[in-house]
Amino acid sequence: MAATVLIPTTLRSFTGNRSELSLAGSTVAQLLDALVEECPDAKKALFDGEGKLRSFVNVFVDGRNIKELAGFATEVPAGAEVMLIPAIAGGSGRESVIEERDSEKLSNDEISRYSRHLLLKEVGLKGQRRLKSARVLIVGLGGLGTPLAQYLAAAGVGTIGLLDYDAVEASNLQRQVIHRTRDVGRPKVASAKDAVKNINPLVKTEAYNMRLTAENALDIIGEYDIVADATDNYKSRYLINDACAILGKPDVFGAMYQFEGQASVFYAREGPCYRCVYPSPPPPGLVPSCAQGGVVGVLPGIIGTIQANEVIKLIVGGGEPLIGRLLVFDAWKMKFRELKIAKNEDCPLCGKQANITELKEYDYDEFCGLRQEEKEEPIEGIEARELKRRMDAGEPLTIVDIREPHERAIVKFPKAVVIPIGQLARRQDELNPKVDTIFICKEGKRSILAIRTLREAGYKGPMYNLKDGINTWARDVDKSLPQY
């Protein structure tokens, strides 16, 4: 029996950039075996060294997680859709997540401003007063955070917390529409605060130009009713999720990559948390960020406004929030899919035997693979100017560009051999182990993964990572090249 296996963008480099495959198999195990047989490079991405499915990957058959069915033995009907969902980073008539705050009245000006809300019986005067009394924290003021801030301000959320530690860059402007060209170089929180004030001067803003850490997360999040996760890294996602679960607050989640987005509400009081769905993050570099792989500019607007919609529903009450549901959107194919997600009774955070009770005791760097273990051989890097010196001196070197063809079209690296990262293990014989091999990518992160991949595959030659990637070459060596 044939079924369609849908491949998300983050894993397509291991399947020859194919988005779906028609494979034969009557169970999930047989289909995954067929997938690996047809695309051998996918084995490392999907399975660990013991042959177990990696914990950051979920498998759905016709919208249902196989964890809730029969696992790998789940039967797959002919013509079914089997979807691989890796980590990226309710019911009707429900009550509001905030308590009643009768002191919040609406002025005549507010009644005029929010009249289109007041005409909705699902919102009405009571719902708008709840919005005015609500306190919402947005963590991350990039692609997702900017539409969140704009629509929550326009909706009349009384207090909006804005947390980010970055400054506005020119490359942000393609999608982070709250910022303007004149804001380049300014802290994102300052730019967003000005924009919110211009949208709705009745809204209060509290700006945090800092990183969210295990030391400050509970204190900051504790001041808010709801947190909207608009971050772009796994450490922040797990930190926000854990703090929200400990404090009993909803985590309105959004994630995106290239043309694909995800949205859900992780609320441990009523459903699964982020850890229930993704017990651990992928190895560093395996799932690229938007900065490495790109994102179509409108996608964060779509996912961010979905997050804003979820925040509004949680405040107003009623509706069907995305608790226990993961919404997956493919902008290129214009398809939405809804996947059921369940609470994991063995979750270390919100399960029956939970053992994560304090953030400070949990090492997020180690958990997310950001802290190098002593037994792990370090990855050596080379500076752009040093590489240029060695090239000019005619030293024997092999330079390997692991980027995809469409990315190399933006800027080419001189004298580089082209081997996409998904092909490295099986093409290692093309490298000379007697000379230094330098791996290059955009920012120097995927090339670290490339070196680790080759080490695991048994390659013994000397390997180096071009520190900070081809962008630093354009900045420090050849200024005629663009940075992207």
Give 170-185 pLDDT, tens digit per residue. Answer: 888 889 999 999 999 9
Q: Where are the domains of the chain?
A: 2-86, 134-367, 381-476
Among 86-95, 241-250, 402-411, the minimum mean pLDDT is found in: 86-95
Whether the per-residue pLDDT at 90 is higher than 60: the answer is no
Lowest mean pLDDT among 39-53, 225-239, 309-323: 39-53
- 2-86 CATH pick, 1.10.10.10, 3.40.50.300, 3.10.20.30, 3.40.50.20: 3.10.20.30
pLDDT value of residue 21: 86
Alpha carbon distance 188, 230 (integer Å): 13
pLDDT in tens, 456-483: 888 999 999 999 899 899 999 998 988 8
Grade residue 377 by pLDDT with cuts at 50, 70 and 90.
Answer: low
- Which listed residue (39, 350, 368, 441) is catalytic? 441
Contact between 447 and 475 under an 8 Å Cβ cutoff? The reply is: no
49 band by pLDDT with thresholds 50, 70 and 90 = confident
Rounded (10°) CA dihedral 411, 416, 417, 423: -50
Candidates 3.40.50.80, 3.40.50.720, 3.20.20.140, 3.10.450.50; CATH matching 134-367: 3.40.50.720
- Does position 372 have pLDDT exceeding 60, yes or no? no
Classified as helix, coil or strand, 161 is: strand
Confidence of residue 251 (pLDDT cuts 50, 70, 90): very high
Please name the amino acid found at residue 484.
Answer: Y
Under the banding of pLDDT at 50, 70 and 90, the label for residue 369 is low
* Measured distance CA(160)–CA(178) in Å, rounded: 15
Is residue 40 scored above 60 in pLDDT? Answer: yes
Least confident residue range of 100-114, 188-202, 257-271, 438-452 = 100-114
The reported pLDDT for the residue numbered 92 is 36
Rounded to an integer, what distance in angstroms lies between the CA atom of residue 78 and that of residue 242? Answer: 40
Once rounded to an integer, what is the mean pLDDT over residues 54-59? Answer: 84
Tally of CB atoms within 10 A around 21: 20
Question: Which two tokens mark 204?
Answer: 């209060």
In this prediction the pTM is 0.71
Cross-strand partners of 328: 262, 337
CA-closest candidate to residue 290, choices 7, 469, 28, 484: 484
Query: Where residue 337 falls among pLDDT bands split at 50, 70, 90?
Result: very high
Q: Predicted confidence band at 26 (pLDDT cuts at 50, 70, 90)?
A: confident
Helix (H) or strand (E) holding 447: helix 446-456
Q: How would residue 114 be classed by pLDDT, with cut points 50, 70 and 90?
A: very high
Query: From CA 114, how far away is CA 112, in angstroms rounded?
Result: 6
Best-predicted range by mean pLDDT (63-67, 119-123, 356-360): 119-123
Span 74-84, average pLDDT: 88
Confidence of residue 374 (pLDDT cuts 50, 70, 90): very low
Q: How confident is the model at residue 95 (pLDDT cuts 50, 70, 90)?
A: confident
The whole-number pLDDT of residue 88 equals 65
244 is catalytic: no
What is the average per-residue pLDDT within 223-242?
94
Distance, in Å, from the CA atom of 129 to the CA atom of 125, rounded to the nearest integer, reads 6
Contact of 273 with 265, CB cutoff 8 Å: no
- Asked if 368 is an active-site residue, the reply is no
- pLDDT on residue 186: 94
Encode pLDDT of 253-302 as tens digits: 999 988 899 999 999 999 999 999 988 877 665 555 555 567 888 999 99
pLDDT at 331: 93
CATH superfamily to which 381-476 belongs: Rhodanese-like domain (3.40.250.10)
How many residues are present in the chain? Answer: 484
Q: How confident is the model at residue 91 (pLDDT cuts 50, 70, 90)?
A: very low
- Average pLDDT along the chain: 88
Task: Round to whole Å and give the CA distance between 304 and 163.
Answer: 16
Which of these is catalytic: 244, 290, 347, 350?
Answer: 290
The Cα–Cα gap between 400 and 384 comes to 14
Q: Is the dihedral of CA 14, 15, 19, 21 positive or negative?
A: negative
